[in-house]
Structure 1
Amino acid sequence: MAKAWVLVANHTHARLFEAENRAGALREIEAMVYPEGRMKGQELLSDAPGRAFDSLGLGRHAMSSPTDLRKQGAQKFARDIAHALEKGRQQGRFDKLYIVAEPSMAGSLRMSMTPPTLATIAGESRKNVAECDTDEIRAQLPTWL
């Protein structure tokens, strides 16, 4: 039987599960948390953003958007998750990977994964169930992993 891992993720939590057998329950093997993902964009800055003058007139505006910081943080979290998956693949801990992730995280994960790890993806569901119990997560997956 091929070993299967199931990754469940959103922008603040990621959980890795291992399938004991093809139709069995999931066993959680690792959990990752990115608490900064819950912070407001402005809370991620050490101080106020720089200010600039408009080219015409007397208006002023902020130079950077706090939402960019949240997006960058989520991408860093996706890279960390992808690194853990790559390490597991290289160690031969799984042959097939199933991903259940919110849409934005699924896209960031795919962009962060290496081609050999991408090749192990056997199924994907774009739902946010990272904080659900294992029975609800298992219901999102095919009957036979």
Structure 2
Amino acid sequence: MKKTVTWIVVADHQHARVYAHEGPGRGLQAIDGMTFDTLLEPSRDMKTDRPGRKPASGGAIRSMTPAIDPHREAGEKFIGGVAKAVSGAAGRKAFERLVLIAPPRALGEFRKALPDKVRKMVTAELNEDQTKTTDKDLADRLGAVLAI
């Protein structure tokens, strides 16, 4: 009988770890090359002190504020990179099922970043931040979702 491999992605906007689970009694195995980290500076350090100004057509001066918070944009880019790596592995048939564990906003960004084919592989989502959880505690936490 062919084993069913489930990948578990534990992420927020700065850290991500990916684990494999190959069935009951097998525990979780961290996947080599699938740990991601970035440093997000505070938003105030990622942009200029003041928005630019330019005269409007009517003569009044208008502020040119950025459309998106650079901190948030960097976090979305990080999630997109992790989703791309996971999607690539799905294309190589590295796993059959996917579990996503992330805080609410990051989880929503994962849903948007994953292609439909990979999104259909998602069997569970946990709407919480577990990035600082030890591997053992994570395995205990996943007992409700997987037969660890």
How many pairs are equivalent?
Answer: 140
Aligned to 1:86: 87
Is residue 35 from structure 1 mapped to residue 36 from structure 2 by the alignment? no
How far apart are residue 53 of structure 1 and its match? 7.7
Separation in structure 1 between the aligned mates of residue 53 and residue 19 of structure 2, nearest angstrom: 48
What's the TM-score, normalizing by structure 1?
A: 0.84
What's the TM-score, normalizing by structure 2?
A: 0.82
How far apart are residue 43 of structure 1 and its match? 1.2
> What is the 5 A alignment of 1:56-75?
63-64=65-66, 68-75=69-76
Instruction: Give me the CA root mean square deviation.
Output: 2.4
> What is the 5 A alignment of 1:89-100?
89-100=90-101
Is residue 14 from structure 1 mapped to residue 8 from structure 2 by the alignment? no
Q: Contact 2:4–2:22 (CA<8 Å) still a contact in 1?
A: no
> Which runs of 5 or more residues in structure 1 are unaligned?
none
> Which runs of 5 or more residues in structure 2 are unaligned?
none
Query: How much identity, in percent, do the aligned residues show?
Result: 17
Aligned to 1:144: 147
How far apart are residue 136 of structure 1 and its match? 1.7
